[in-house]
Amino acid sequence: MNSYWSDIINGGKSLVVGLGITAREFFKPVVTEQYPWETPTMLPRFRGHIELIGNEETGAPNCVVCGMCQRACPSNCISLDGQKAEGGKGKVLTRYILDFTKCSLCGSCVESCNFNALRFSREYNLASFDKNDFVMDLMKRLEDQNRCKH
């Protein structure tokens, strides 16, 4: 019989406490973001798809076409081409294609790059109806970024 009464009293008390908590929450400000109207700025460590880093002055890619990223990629997302630099040593990048449909964002390519040529972008608006939108030409992306800069 004792537990009967204590159940009623403690149960009733806990119900009132619960109502108090939700009442307090009711008057606190909203914490959600209204996504299409408010776009969040992505955090520095966000992993989007990869992108090329351009030289700060010329804007040309830092890439030396060593092919380490291509070899590091476990799912063969990356294909790149380069040609002999005109009147200099080393190679310049001519083509850098990322097949994002296969990418698992493991980051092995970024880790393997010794020339500060690759990084994660902070792109997150990636929805599309077309599969081909996810085969990305990163050279073109870098050019677009350069154009925006100037």
Q: Which residues are at the interface with other proteins (CB under 8 A)?
A: 4, 8, 15, 18-19, 21-23, 25-26, 28-32, 34
- Judged by CB, which is closer to other proteins: 19, or 105? 19
DSSP classification of residue 39: P
Give the residue with the Cβ less far from other proteins, 4 or 129: 4
Token pair of 62, please? Answer: 């830092």
| Three-state SS at 143 | helix
Q: How far apart are CA 120 and CA 103, in angstroms?
A: 12
Least distance CB 20 / other proteins (angstroms): 9
Least CB distance to other proteins at residue 24 (A): 10
* Tokens (6 digits) for 43: 């955090």
Phi, psi of 91 (to 5 degrees): -120, 155
CB of 79 to other proteins, least distance (A): 43
